[in-house]
Structure formats: C-alpha cells, structure tokens
Amino acid sequence: MEFMLSLIVPMYNEEANIDTFYKSIKDTMLKNSYNFEIICINDGSKDNTLLLLRELAHKDERIKVIDLSRNFGKEVAMSAGLKYASGDAIIPIDADLQDPPDVIPLLVNKWTEGYDVVYATRTKREGETALKKMTAHMFYRVIAKLTRIDIPEDTGDFRLMSRQVVDALNQLPEHHRFMKGLFSWVGYKQTSITYEREARFAGKTSFNYWKLWNFAIEGITSFSFAPLQFSSYLGFFVSITSFIYMIYLIFNTIFFGNPVAGYPSLMVAILFFGGIQLITLGIIGEYIGRIYNETKRRPLFLVREEINIPSSSVSRKN
C-alpha cells in the first residue's frame, strides 16, 4: 500500500532539538519505507529555529517550512500545518521528542486496519512535576464531565488522522481553537494505542502554569456551557436562600422583635453577594469576549515565508 505521511511540527524556540528530532524521524521513516514530508511551522521563534530549519530544508526537500509572521500559539500553528499538509495521513508531533517517533508505526498499523483517527494515550509522563501531572489528570476528568463530546483522557495532540478527517478539520472556521476537542468533535472511526511519554530531549517548555490555566479555560469554554449554567444555578440558589432568610427576618421581627444587626454581618453579606456577581459577570465576559473575537473575521494566521512548498499545493484559505 503506497501512501504519504505528513508530520506536522509546531516549533517555538526549539533550536536545541531540531537536529536530533530530524534524525530520529528520518531513521523511523526510512526504516519502515514510508513516503513522508515534515511540515515545520515556525511560530515566531526568537532563537535560531528558523535558521536551522532553512538549512535542513535546503538539504532535504521533504522538509517544508512555514514561517508565521509572529507567535500565534501552538493551536493556531498546528492548524496552519494541517492546512498545508498534503499526505494521505497526517500526524501532529512535538519537536522535543517527548512523543517518540518509534510510536508512529503503531499509529500507521491501526490506520491501515481502517481507523480514521488513531490517538496515542500516555500511560507515563517522564520529566514532569507531580503538580503538572496531577493538574493534567484533573483537567481531562473535569472536561469529560462538562462536555458532550468524548475527549480521550491523558491524550495530547500526538495522533494519526486520515485525509478525510483533516479535510473536515480545515473546514472549521473558529479562532479559539482547542484542538483536542476539535479532533474529537469531527467524529469518524477512532481508536487508541498506549505509550510512555519521554522527558524533553533539550530545552524548556514554553507552557507555564498560567498558560496551562488559560488553556484549560479555552477548552472548557470552547466545548461547554457548563460555567454559564453553573452561574445560573448559583444565582437561583442564592436567591432562594435569601428569600427564605427574608421570611425568617420578617417572622422574627413581628413575633419576637429584632435588634439592629451588627456591622460585621452586614459587610459579610455585601461582600458575599458582590463576589458572586463579579464571578458571574466574569464567566459571561469570557463567552462574550470569544464572540467578539469571532465576529472580527480576521485571518487565523499570517505567513511570512514558505520553503519547499509547491505552488500547486492544496488551497490554504485561513
């Protein structure tokens, strides 16, 4: 069976990993006699990532380089790679070698069995702190409870997708892109394989806890109205509780008299209800902000330079 594999590699400040990553991928591809292309998306790197990619692309035409005009974030960079991919099967993979290239044949074997999406589920995460492992574990369980789509637990972007699935993903126009959710939303026949995730080969991850928090908010608000529903339920509960307390005060004043309440209790009540109002407004604001961004209809990304991209490539409307 003759087929082409497209590897999608978003890169941000990955100069320390590029050579080793390329050699590892090349060895795996040649060992299994795969036809392949590696689409590297430079997402506004500030180091020598682009320079090294240029050098590799001039030596090997299978290296395709997309240089974005600035840092748009990993989700958008990955989306750009999907637009440019021309393979029969497409595999997003990180350049830090945390997702071992040796797993790729396992993905391909499942695809040849007739599956459209084969995702890689992590059974072990080397090189990560206990706090990050715990929060990641909690995030996948929470979002599974909040959304109506089946987002696999302990599964990142590393997976194989058929041409049909990628064509479907490229039709999705939203700017707030939680790719793990989109991969599941499109459906098709999906299965999984398991693997142990390695520690980064070199360098430090650009994802700090603040970015991971915002990423979690992005995922929840992109695929669930649960925060809005929660704020409604909370408001209803507080209203009922306040009404009951009002009845109690009226009854207590009529039959027993009621001295003037103290200042501390008044301040507690004001701060409590004020806090609930601000939280609710914040939740509503998150959704309104996303609506505002979507209505601008700006391009998802802008490209400054293309290397080894044929002029007859697939349409890349963004």
pLDDT in tens, 182-231: 887 787 888 888 887 765 545 455 555 555 556 566 666 666 666 666 76
pLDDT single digits (tens) 50-60: 888 888 888 88
Which residue, chain included where needed, has tokens 């009540």?
Answer: 269
Q: Find all residues with CB under 8 Å of 234, minimum gap 6, and list them.
A: 276, 280
Distance CA 190, CA 15 (A): 34
3-state helix, strand, coil in the chain (%, to 5): 50, 20, 30
Tell whether pTM > 0.75.
no
pLDDT tens, residue by residue, 17-48? 888 888 888 888 888 888 888 999 998 888 88
Most confident by average pLDDT, 211-215, 268-272, 282-286: 282-286
Amino acid residing at 283 = I
pLDDT at 213: 59
More confident residue, 273 or 6: 6
Radius of gyration over every alpha carbon of the chain, rounded to an integer in angstroms: 25
pLDDT higher than 70, residue 7: yes
Among candidates 64, 103, 58, which has minimal Cα distance to 83? 64
What pLDDT is stored for residue 126 in this prediction? Answer: 62
Percent of the chain whose predicted confidence (pLDDT) is above 70? 65
Q: What are the pLDDT digits (tens) for 142-169?
A: 666 666 777 676 677 788 888 888 888 8
Res 46: pLDDT: 85
Q: Where are the domains of the chain?
A: 4-132+153-208+299-307, 226-296
CATH code of the domain made up of 4-132+153-208+299-307: 3.90.550.10
Q: How far apart are CA 279 and CA 260, in angstroms?
A: 30
Please provide the DSSP assignment of 180-244 as one string: HHHHHHT-SSEEEEEEEEPPPSSS--S--HHHHHHHHHHHHHHH--HHHHHHHHHHHHHHHHHHH
